[in-house]
A and B are shown apart, each in its own frame.
Chain A
């Protein structure tokens, strides 16, 4: 009887004899069938939080004006203010070096008032009052006599938390943070200034101490039976954390009003066609160029210019890049020129400018 009911259920749901395949696939897809959730969630915290620092010079004594609006209309007896590098409340609080609030004074308060200041440590303040229902009015609190951090490499924050109690204990009500940064820097001797190193020539040493061959390439006489080729080199390195980018800029070779055709997509060298292009790798057709070398492990040639025996040229293209700190890399640029039999006679020349810049 039981088997008969099972058999009827099986026929109703899975009429095919081979059902285990569907079950297996169903189990697999059931594990992953859900819409990937990427949601921007508006966190309900203190509203309209702001921070105005009187002076952004490191180490000076100045005023901090904190603006905010309480979100939860409930009895509020204390407002914690913790000065940390990281604004995230559940991350460990590391005070910014040099900051000192131990002599802070609550100079003025507007909006939600009645607070008195309690100093807990060099980076921790607390406002306390008799628990009163907090309204949503804009509030500002001016603290004078706060010593700015000398820490300049990163922003820092004031983490704020409100409580019903008067001593910062118990369940938190509203939370939030404000951030700021010391921006007018005094160069500290321990800081290493970022540097970008770049050189160009027909041949360059890997530390750019010397170049040879001048800054031009004479490719010879154009012919529809031969491919002209030449090469140049450039070396680049940086200790900037954002890395570097090199772009190629210029116009196709031209003789007066007669402009050479260029390939704007990677193309094989073809004799008998009007063609000008370049790449930054070793080639066999024709035999020109060298693969990038140098100590860098993260500097790479742009994809369009990294295909052997494929050449192109487009004004403004990125030809090489590094995403972060990079030791010196040396790139060899290969140029090719082909011409068709009907090419207008003349001396075809161009100036190619390689521009190296940091990234942001």
Chain B
């Protein structure tokens, strides 16, 4: 009996020791998610809209713990990248939806599954017409440990349009050929292009209280006639100019359709392709409209031009002009000799 007790006691002690030595591994948490990147809603004053957010957990083996909160954002530059106002003491923007959104603070999504999260937006009666927008941030949390802890967040941009009489003002700042950088977003306007131009751009300054998405078209013509480009949709992505933003809109001179399969869904999108351009001058006409329901429709119309002068063409022209100059010089000298006699040109100083 004593021996049995001793064995059991020893086993218990060993068990406790082992339990204290072995690390207690916390359940792994997913940080892979799918979200809806943008929401557009039309809400009358005094109305509440109930909507849903669909969040997916991409990790097939770990649950996804999400915290949700509303943050304000504005524009970062003249592109469509948002500038999230993450500071805890960031002042509320004039277009903030923070006071009006009601959503859960957290949710757990099982491994490999998705959930719809209900939320609501209530616009108070008497609220002024215009555009209001904020972002819903989905935080996946970070692990403790190490020098650098990592945390992943997704963001849905929520835009609400409150109908009524609004202030709309979009001023054209620039229009012309646009050469994009490698990132496909930044770039610059060009007047003389040495590489083929495949996009036209126009910058509109939005001084109204509405986020605007202009619609319209651009026509491009070559100096010697022939092919004409009709860009039927000058804002194919329905890009928005936020309140106060000088927004750059670009349109492909020629586009092709690209099919993308992502997450089990197939999407078709327009991508720019290289147009066939002859060297020379091109003129472009911009005609776009903007305006909210019940308000005046505004039209922005402008003309511009650009040159496509590839280096091979410039070199060829210079060589040709040089050749013409030499030929003309030689002809003139021969004429002078013929007029003044063989001695002309030998004793001139």
**B215 interfacial by beta-carbon distance below 8 Å:** yes
Q: Please, which residues of chain A bring their CB within 8 A of the CB of B161? A: 183
Q: Verify A357–B82 contact, CB threshold 8 A.
A: yes
Q: Verify A335–B148 contact, CB threshold 8 A.
A: yes
Which residues of A, 338-360, contact B by the 8 Å Cβ criterion?
348-360
Q: Please, which residues of chain A bring their CB within 8 A of the CB of B266? A: 192
Q: Please, which residues of chain A bring their CB within 8 A of the CB of B58? A: 197, 199, 207-209
Option from B61, B263, B291, B329 in Cβ contact (under 8 Å) with A50? B291
**B122 interfacial by beta-carbon distance below 8 Å:** no
Q: Verify B265–A192 contact, CB threshold 8 A.
A: yes
Q: Verify A36–B34 contact, CB threshold 8 A.
A: no
A-B contact count (CB 8 A): 342
Q: Which of A114-122, A233-241, A263-271 contacts B (4 or more CB under 8 A)?
A: A233-241
Q: Verify B303–A41 contact, CB threshold 8 A.
A: yes
Hey, what's the 0/1 contact readout for A13-56 against B, CB within 8 Å counting as 1? 00000001101100110001000111111110100111111001
Q: How many residues of A contact B (CB 8 A)?
A: 110
Instruction: Name the CB-closest residue of B to A41.
Output: B301
Q: Which of A105-113, A164-172, A279-287, A316-324 contacts B (4 or more CB under 8 A)?
A: A316-324
**B305 interfacial by beta-carbon distance below 8 Å:** yes
**A95 interfacial by beta-carbon distance below 8 Å:** no
**B68 interfacial by beta-carbon distance below 8 Å:** no
Instruction: Name the CB-closest residue of B to A193.
Output: B36
Option from A23, A39, A194 in Cβ contact (under 8 Å) with B37? A194
**A223 interfacial by beta-carbon distance below 8 Å:** no
Option from A178, A302, A350 in Cβ contact (under 8 Å) with B149? A350
Option from A3, A199, A239, A325 in Cβ contact (under 8 Å) with B33? A199
Q: Verify B146–A298 contact, CB threshold 8 A.
A: no
**A253 interfacial by beta-carbon distance below 8 Å:** yes
**B32 interfacial by beta-carbon distance below 8 Å:** yes
Option from A27, A228, A239, A324 in Cβ contact (under 8 Å) with B237? A324
Q: Verify B36–A196 contact, CB threshold 8 A.
A: yes
**B50 interfacial by beta-carbon distance below 8 Å:** no
Q: Give CA–CA (A292, B322) in the complex, Å.
A: 49
Instruction: Name the CB-closest residue of A to B300.
Output: A40
Q: How many residues of B contact A (CB 8 A)?
A: 116
**A91 interfacial by beta-carbon distance below 8 Å:** yes
**A176 interfacial by beta-carbon distance below 8 Å:** yes
Smallest Cβ distance from A184 to chain B, in angstroms? 6
Q: Verify B151–A349 contact, CB threshold 8 A.
A: no
Q: Verify B152–A354 contact, CB threshold 8 A.
A: yes
Q: Please, which residues of chain A bring their CB within 8 A of the CB of B30? A: 199, 211
Assuming the contacts A218-B146, A302-B183, asked whether A36 and B191 have C-beta atoms less than 8 A apart, the reply is: yes
* A-to-B contact residues, CB < 8 Å: 3, 20-21, 23-24, 27-28, 32, 36-43, 45, 48-53, 56, 67, 86-88, 91, 154-155, 157, 176-181, 183-184, 192-202, 204, 207-211, 214-220, 228, 230, 232, 234-235, 237-245, 247, 249, 253, 298, 300, 302-303, 316, 318, 321-328, 335, 337, 348-360
4 closest residue pairs by CB, A with B = A358-B37, A20-B325, A199-B32, A323-B184
A-B contact pairs, 6 of them (CB 8 A): A32-B192, A214-B143, A327-B260, A349-B148, A349-B149, A352-B151
* B-to-A contact residues, CB < 8 Å: 28-38, 40, 42, 54, 58-62, 76, 79-84, 86, 135, 137, 139-140, 142-157, 159, 161, 171-172, 174-176, 180, 182-185, 191-192, 211, 215-217, 230, 232-233, 236-240, 242, 258, 260-263, 265-267, 269, 271, 287, 289-291, 293-297, 299-307, 309, 317-318, 321-322, 324-326, 328-329, 335-336, 339-340
